[in-house]
């Protein structure tokens, strides 16, 4: 077979030749990593049986076409090759879907290593990138670091990124790999890259956003929730109901709220309630002792102007206490469902 004839070969024939070139062990590993169905494997196997010989020229041409980054040799792997193998068998769209769901098994990511950089430096690296690219980066960074980067963004950019974080389809693993390496190189880093975490499905991304916001300060948290509700009320409400914020104190069971209040310094509680909704103040007062409630009222009335960031910091202490107690199983933050329906 002449090398120049490779371009005219049917896709499944090329995939079959590639399997022969790789050899049984590497071919089976690649097939397993790509998640090819049993039916497609049978089609591929049938085509392989029709191959009698593969000359060196055809081997080279096949490898060059299936992956521009690969040279003729024993080490043949990677997302590009997996995509090239699957596309002739499944079609480009289905191949992309399969690779996305399998998480590009074996691909390496720089994001775990990049997590060691400061949030300010990470934000600098992401400056100029499209919101979609920033969203991808946030998916692969640890939640705490992602929350810090989110806080560094402008409110307008932040909402654009969050919308794409939750609603966009999973990126191709190769795109994730390319972005991670580009940021790694832009940072001037060198050395081995650590393997990054896998991305989530749509429901997982909504939960990931909640986890990210739980690690952000309250100012960022409230701004993101407000922006989400304005842009997509259904999504905003979904995220809102999945997390606990300071204004949710009245929804706690009285015993749970009392337990939380006992863990908060009186000065922090007073500061946290400065400018808080009356419903929140009422819930807190009703769950304090009579003397403590009276003292709180006096302190609030005597308090002068306070910086907003100090109020947020105090509220963060309360919210952190609630979330910690909930995680440890001491209290529940699930809203109590009330209904006026009667059951006969």
Residue 138 scores a pLDDT above 50: yes
Q: Are residues 221 and 320 in the same domain?
A: no
Place of tokens 């910690």: 324
Residue 140 domain flag: yes
Report the share of the chain in percent with pLDDT over 70. 67
Tell me how far CA of residue 194 lies from CA of 109, 120, 197, 211, 326, in angstroms.
6, 21, 10, 23, 33
Separation of alpha carbons 149 and 110, rounded Å:
16
137 and 179 Cβ atoms separated by less than 8 Å: yes
Determine the average pLDDT of the residues in 113-136. 83
Last residue of a domain, one of 241, 258, 291: 241
Within 8 A by CB and 6+ apart from 168, the residues are 132, 135
3-class secondary-structure state, position 88: helix
Cβ 231 vs Cβ 158: under 8 Å: no
Query: Nearest-CA neighbor of 211 among 175, 248, 188, 242?
Result: 242
pLDDT of residue 77: 39
Mean pLDDT value across residues 36-59: 72
Note the pLDDT of residue 70. Answer: 38
pLDDT top residue among 219 and 154: 154
Residue scoring higher pLDDT (208 or 25): 208
Are 281 and 209 part of one and the same domain?
Answer: no
Instruction: Say whether both 124 and 237 belong to one domain.
Output: yes
> Are 232 and 310 in a shared domain?
no
Mean pLDDT of the chain: 74
CB atoms within 10 A of CB 117: 19
Residues 314, 264: Cα–Cα separation, whole Å: 10
Q: Which residue has the higher pLDDT, 244 or 200?
A: 244
Let me know if residue 343 belongs to a domain. no
CA distance linking residue 293 with residue 27, whole number of Å:
72
How many helices, marked H, and strands, marked E, lie in the chain? Answer: 20, 0
Q: Are residues 219 and 133 in the same domain?
A: yes
Rg (CA), the chain: 28
The beta-carbon contacts of 198-205 under 8 Å, at least 24 apart in sequence, are: 198/103, 199/103, 199/139, 199/140, 199/170, 199/171, 200/139, 201/170, 202/166, 202/167, 205/139, 205/165, 205/166
User: Region 17-38: what's the mean pLDDT?
Assistant: 66
For the chain, what percent of residues have pLDDT higher than 90? 19
pLDDT at 296: 95
Looking at 195, 220, 241, the residue that finishes a domain is 241
340 has a pLDDT exceeding 80:
no
The answer to whether 210 and 239 are in contact (CB under 8 A) is yes
Q: Is 212 inside a domain boundary?
A: yes
Residues 186 and 132 in one domain: yes
User: Is 198:227 a contact under the CB 8 Å cutoff?
Assistant: no
Mean pLDDT computed over 216-240: 84
- Range in 26-40, 164-178, 290-304, 315-329 the model is least confident about: 26-40
pLDDT over 50 at 335, yes or no: no
Assign residue 191 a region (left: φ > 0; alpha: ψ between -120 and 50; beta: otherwise). left
Q: In the chain, how many domains are there? A: 3
Does 155 score more than 80 pLDDT? Answer: yes
Both structure tokens of 181: 């390496």
Whether residue 78 is found in the same domain as residue 128: no
Among the ranges given (50-64, 130-144, 146-160), the one the predictor scored with the smallest mean pLDDT: 50-64
Does any domain span residue 334?
Answer: no
Is 194 part of any domain? yes
Let me know if residue 159 belongs to a domain: yes
pLDDT at 26: 67
Same domain, 119 and 46: no
pLDDT in the model for residue 96? 55
d(CA 278, CA 284): 10
pLDDT band at residue 13 under the 50/70/90 scheme: confident
State yes or no: pLDDT of 89 exceeds 80. no
Q: Could you list the residue range(s) of the whole structural domain that residue 143 is in?
A: 111-241
Residue at which a domain ends, from 241, 260, 278? 241
pLDDT band at 107 (very low <50, low <70, confident <90, very high): very low
- For residue 222, pLDDT over 50 is answered with yes
Q: Is residue 341 part of a domain?
A: no
> What number of CA atoms fall less than 13 Å from residue 174's CA on the CB side?
15
Continuous H helices in 303-343: 308-327
Q: What is the pTM of this model?
A: 0.47
120 shares a domain with 17: no
Alpha helices (runs of H) in 131-253, residue ranges in sequence order: 131-140, 143-152, 155-167, 173-186, 202-214, 218-231, 233-241
Residues 143 and 228 in one domain: yes
216 and 295 housed in the same domain: no
Both 17 and 63 in one domain: the answer is yes
Joined together, the tokens standing for residue 139 give 């998916």
Grade residue 10 by pLDDT with cuts at 50, 70 and 90. confident
Position 336 in a domain: no
pLDDT in tens, 181-198: 778 777 775 444 444 444
**CATH code of 119's domain:** 1.10.220.30
Say whether 293 sits in a helix, a strand or coil.
helix
The string over 13-43, giving b where at least 16 C-beta atoms fall within 10 Å of a residue's C-beta and e elsewhere, is bbbbbbbbbbeeeebeebbebbbbeeebeee
């Amino acid at each position: 077979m002449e090398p120049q004839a490779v371009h005219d070969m049917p896709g499944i024939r090329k995939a079959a030749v590639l399997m022969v070139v790789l050899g049984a062990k590497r071919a089976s590993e690649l097939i397993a990593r790509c998640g090819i169905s049993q039916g497609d494997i049978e089609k591929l196997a049938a085509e392989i049986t029709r191959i009698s010989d593969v000359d060196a020229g055809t081997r080279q041409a096949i490898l060059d076409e299936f992956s521009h980054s690969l040279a003729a040799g024993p080490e043949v792997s990677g997302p590009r090759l997996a995509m090239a193998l699957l596309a002739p068998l499944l079609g480009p769209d289905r191949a992309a879907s399969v690779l996305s769901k399998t998480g590009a098994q074996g691909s390496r990511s720089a994001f775990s290593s990049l997590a060691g950089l400061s949030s300010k430096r990470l934000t600098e690296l992401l400056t100029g990138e499209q919101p979609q690219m920033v969203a991808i980066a946030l998916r692969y960074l640890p939640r705490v670091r992602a929350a810090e980067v989110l806080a560094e963004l402008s409110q307008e950019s932040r909402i654009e990124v969050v919308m794409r974080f939750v609603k966009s389809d999973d990126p191709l693993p190769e795109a994730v790999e390319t972005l991670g390496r580009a940021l790694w190189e832009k940072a001037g880093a060198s050395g081995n890259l650590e393997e990054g975490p896998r991305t989530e499905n749509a429901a997982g991304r909504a939960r990931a956003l909640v986890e990210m916001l739980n690690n952000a300060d309250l100012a960022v948290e409230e701004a993101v929730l407000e922006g989400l509700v304005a842009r997509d009320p259904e999504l905003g409400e979904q995220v809102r109901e999945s997390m606990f914020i300071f204004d949710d104190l009245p929804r706690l069971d009285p015993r749970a709220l009392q337990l939380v209040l006992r863990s908060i310094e009186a000065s922090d509680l007073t500061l946290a309630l400065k400018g808080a909704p009356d419903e929140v103040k009422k819930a807190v007062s009703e769950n304090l002792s009579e003397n403590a409630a009276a003292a709180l009222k006096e302190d609030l009335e005597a308090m002068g102007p306070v910086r907003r960031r100090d109020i947020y910091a105090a509220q963060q202490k309360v919210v952190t206490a609630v979330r910690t107690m909930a995680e440890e199983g001491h209290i529940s933050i699930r809203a109590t469902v009330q209904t006026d329906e009667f059951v006969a």
